[in-house]
Amino acid sequence: MPWTNLFVERKEPPFDQDEGKDLRKISFAEAIREALDQALERDKRVFVMGQGVDAPGGLWGTTLDLHKKHGAKRVFDVPLSENALTGVAIGAALVGMRPVFVHNRPDFILLSMDQIVNHAAKWSYMFGGKVKVPMVIRSVICRGWGSAAQHSQALHSLFMHIPGLRLVMPSTAYDAKGLLISSIVDENPVIFLEHRWLFKHTGYVPTGLYSIPFGKGAVRKEGNDVTIIGISHMAVEAIRAAAELQKEGIDAEVIDLRTLKPLDTGIILESLKKTGRLIIADVGWKTGGVGAEISAIAAECGFADLKAPILRIGCLDTPTPSSYVLEEEFYPGVDDIVQAARQLLKK
Amino acid sequence: MPKTGIPGKKLIELYKSMLKIRKVELRIEELYSQDEMKTPVHLCIGQEATSAGVCACLKKEDYVFTNHRGHGHYLAKGGDLKAFISELYCKEAGCSRGRGGSMHLIDERVGLLGASAIVGGSIPIAVGAALGSVFQKKKSVSAVFFGDAAAEQGVLYESLNYAALKKLPVIFVCENNFYSVFSNLKSRQVKDNIYLRAKVFSMPAHRVDGTNVMDVYSTCAKAVKYARSGKGPVFMECRVYRWRKHVGPGSDIELGYRSEKELDSWLKKCPVNTFKERLLKTKLLNAKKIHSIDKELDSEISEAFEYAQKCALPDKKEALKYLFHEKDDYALD
């Protein structure tokens, strides 16, 4: 489909660049594929399932030809029975396998909320830790090209609300590979969300296997005037906004949380202590969203450090419209972050 | 009396298994009013033959998944009695460490891998365990118990399709007791033909008298053999009746949603007593043997209740424990 090539950003974010002999530049999508490839290679318990994982395009390249390399028994297409197939993944995990279930849109995950929320998230606690459910649910979220309301949601706030789930949202190729490996290695159900606009971003990624600990955010740019927390693709937008703001003499600190559950509250509060101002830029809706949760944490634990009101940036509280004019209004971006920072710094 | 083809030893085992379930349920019912078992109990009195008959066909390495009315399945699969009763008493020594209660029993050591209180919820999970078994070349089969209302859930049909498509070793056991809380099957489903719906997925599907433990056992034994040989899943609709309320001790016949006549007709088909009569007639049992089995079970049950009552409650400080399985670090294995 044309939009897969057209609306993807090509500007490279200026971070995680590190020259080294085992590093090379690959795309976010290639990093995902490499993590799956190496996990399948290393661990016979791992298998990858989902609609189209063995299709010619390989889900934006993230599963490309893995079925040819690792066999159709380990990388396989599934019927469109999202709820049952999620249960199938849970059952396989319970008896010692490591399933990775891929959804090419998060909207389809809603059909499997019973198995995710009532079963996967609860099976460890509800049975006193006697069994575990090590599984990964991967999904490609957000923007396409006029994809409208049912092919473009983020939905991470729904998962953040549920005890028993890990929630991972990488924004760089390096993190995508390392965090996906951590997700497969983890002993619990993990929701792993990949923003579609990140797929063609490139970054330096080690050739070997590596994992990134959950619950450790990254400071993408240091600054003293305002803290900007970016979720998923908004971390990239936040870095761009920070560069704009620098020209105006506003020194912004940019934080990429990388995982929302567990959440690195330490990195948020520490930054707030320094800047006294907080902006949270999310790829989802504002109401009842991740920004609300982070705001509450900042108010509860960092109130004394606040010099200004906390500002949240998110999608309009409507279903995603399809016309590009309305889409531009719906999705937040660099300009919204810049505006918010100016407002806080009264410039 | 026609020969059953089931060895005498197995018949006694089936009797004991059913009787144990009946006695445990009656004891729970008797003591429930003391308000020490602070968890809603869905008693399976009247449905013992399905648990006993199906589980007697399974090996320890086979998996069982169950539902909110799962006491019988747990016991028949060999689940630990003390851990079960302790769970009802909300104790840390409970099979789910006081985090699950009556509706969420587990004994992973005997392959009972959990119970869902969402109708139909554990069906796909059982299919997944069967898939895992195939991956691991283990030859374990996976049996799942669910009620007639699960046949109103989409997830059953999704699961039947997938298990049949991949020829997975699953035994689907529908215990059709005709009621979903107060609603009769007739008010919920077009036809009383649950097993026929499974046939559409090209799998063997049987309707069985769920009060006759020999019928259940014989049908399930063939089903397990079929599934274990790699031919695919089998479906069993066992027709049973819930003697007690949907939840809690005692009868609810006074509410009028079902007739006394209907209940009486099923009481006459008591799975435990009719089978006992048969064993007496065939001389596999006699008064002395019955007495010794009673005594043995009664003392085991009393011991379990005494144990559970004495056990410690969970530590409040550990309310967060078991949410996640922690790894010390994320270093690769």
Q: Which residues of A touch B121 (CB under 8 A)?
A: 87, 114-115, 118-119
* Pairing assessment for the beta strands A46-50 and A75-76 based on DSSP bridges: parallel
Contact call for residues A124 and B323 (beta carbons, < 8 A): yes
Which residues in chain B have Cβ-Cβ distances shorter than 8 Å to A130?
95-97, 106, 108
Question: What is the per-residue pLDDT across A9-56, written as a single tens digit (0 to 9) for each?
Answer: 334 444 455 555 577 899 999 999 999 999 999 999 999 999 999 999
Active site residue A270: no
CB spacing of A79 vs B128 below 8 angstroms:
no
Rounded to a whole number of angstroms, the distance from the CA of B208 to the nearest CA of chain A is: 26
Contact A51, A44 (CB under 8 A): no
C-beta atoms of B142 and A97 within 8 A: no
Contacts of A189 (CB under 8 A, 6+ apart): A90, A93, A116, A120, A121, A133, A134, A135, A136, A137, A164, A165, A166
Distance of CA A65 to the CA centre of its chain: 24
Tell me the average pLDDT across A238-260. Answer: 97
Catalytic residue of the set A70, A151, A156, A201: A151
The pLDDT of residue A7 is 30
- Give the pLDDT confidence score for residue B4 in this predicted structure: 75
CB contact under 8 A, B127 and A84: yes
Distance of CA A15 to the CA centre of its chain: 17
| pLDDT score for A143 | 84
d(CA B183, CA A226): 60
pLDDT at A5 over 90: no
Smallest CA–CA separation between A71 and chain B, in Å?
Answer: 12
Q: Could you tell me the two tokens for A72?
A: 């159709």
CA distance A160 to chain B (A): 14
Chain B positions touching A118 (Cβ under 8 A) are 116, 118, 121
Nearest-by-CA chain B residue for A90 = B125
**A259: chain B residues, CB-CB within 8 Å:** none
Residue A62 has pLDDT above 80, yes or no: yes
Q: Which of B324, B326, B329, B333 to mutate to test the interface with A (most CBs of A within 10 A)?
A: B324
Among the partner-chain residues A47, A95, A185, the one whose CB lies closest to the CB of B332 is A185
For residue B191, the number of C-alpha atoms closer than 13 Å in the C-beta half-sphere is 5
Q: Do A84 and B131 touch (CB under 8 A)?
A: no
Q: Other CB atoms closer than 10 Å to residue B43's CB: what's the count?
A: 26
Across the interface, of B94, B159, B324, the residue whose CB is closest to A84 is: B159
Q: Would you call B162 and A129 a contact, using CB atoms and an 8 Å cutoff?
A: no
Measured distance CA(B291)–CA(B299) in Å, rounded: 12
Q: What is the pLDDT of residue A16?
A: 53
Distance from the Cα of A154 to chain B's closest Cα (Å) equals 24
The average pLDDT across A218-236 equals 97
- Partner-chain residue, chosen from B130, B131, B158, that has the shortest CB–CB distance to A81: B158
| Residue from A34, A82, A194, A327 carrying the catalytic annotation | A82
Cβ contact (<8 Å) for A91 and B125?
Answer: yes
For residue B326, the model assigns a pLDDT of: 84
The predicted complex's ipTM stands at 0.96
Angle value at C-alpha B115, between A50 and A43, nearest 5 degrees: 40
Nearest CB among B98, B129, B322 relative to A92 is that of B129
pLDDT in tens, chain B (333 residues): 556 789 999 999 999 999 999 999 999 999 999 999 999 999 999 999 999 999 999 999 999 999 999 999 999 999 999 999 999 999 999 999 999 999 999 999 999 999 999 999 999 999 999 999 999 999 999 999 999 999 999 999 999 999 999 999 999 999 999 999 999 999 999 999 999 999 999 999 999 999 999 999 999 999 999 999 999 999 999 999 999 999 999 999 999 999 999 999 999 999 999 999 999 999 999 999 999 999 999 999 999 999 999 999 999 999 999 999 986 544 454
- Cα(B47)–Cα(B55) distance, rounded to whole angstroms? 13
Q: Are B132 and A95 in contact (CB under 8 A)?
A: yes
Q: Which two tokens stand for residue B214?
A: 């020999």
A-B Cβ pairs (cutoff 8 Å, strict): 174
The residues, ordered by sequence, that sit 6+ positions from B19 with a Cβ below 8 Å of its Cβ are: B48, B272, B293, B294, B297
- Could you tell me where the beta strands, DSSP code E, fall in chain B? 63-66, 112-115, 142-147, 170-176, 179-180, 183-184, 205-209, 234-239
Q: Is A82 a catalytic residue?
A: yes
Which residue in A has a C-alpha nearest to residue B100's C-alpha? A126
Report the alpha-carbon distance of residue A142 to residue A152 in Å, rounded.
Answer: 4
**Element holding B124 (H helix, E strand):** helix B123-135
Q: What is the pLDDT of residues A263-296, one digit of tens each?
A: 999 999 999 999 999 999 999 999 999 999 999 9
pLDDT of A317 strictly over 90: yes
Contact list in B for residue A123 (CB cut-off 8 A) is 114
Interchain contact, A163 vs B106, CB within 8 Å = no
Report residue B124 as tokens: 């796909």
Smallest CA–CA distance from A209 into chain B, residue: B332
DSSP assignment of A26-90 equals EEHHHHHHHHHHHHHHH-TTEEEEETTTTSTTTTTTTTTTHHHHH-TTTEE---S-HHHHHHHHH
| Cα distance between residue A231 and residue B160, in whole Å | 40
* A344 and A226 Cβ atoms separated by less than 8 Å: yes
Q: List pLDDT tens digits, range A169-202.
A: 999 999 999 999 999 999 999 999 999 999 999 9
Contact A126 B97 (CB under 8 A): no
- What residue of B is the nearest CA neighbor of A96? B132
Whole-number Å distance between alpha carbons of A242 and A346: 16
Distances, alpha carbon A185 to alpha carbons A190, B81, B196, B209, B312, in Å: 10, 35, 43, 47, 35
CA separation, residue B141 to residues A208, B167, B233 (Å): 38, 12, 9
Q: With contacts defined as CB-CB under 8 Å, which chain B residues touch A182?
A: 330
DSSP string, A131-180: S----EEEEEES--SS--TTS----HHHHHTSTT-EEE---SHHHHHHHH
Chain B neighbors of A90, CB-CB under 8 A: 124-125, 128
Q: How close does chain B come to A301, measured CA to CA in Å?
A: 21
Q: Which of A45, A85, A130 sits opposite B106 (nearest CB)?
A: A130
What is the band of A145 on the pLDDT scale with cuts at 50, 70, 90?
A: confident
Nearest to A94 among B125, B159, B161 (CB): B125
Q: What's the burial of B281, exposed, middle or buried (CB within 10 Å: 0-12/13-18/19+)?
A: exposed
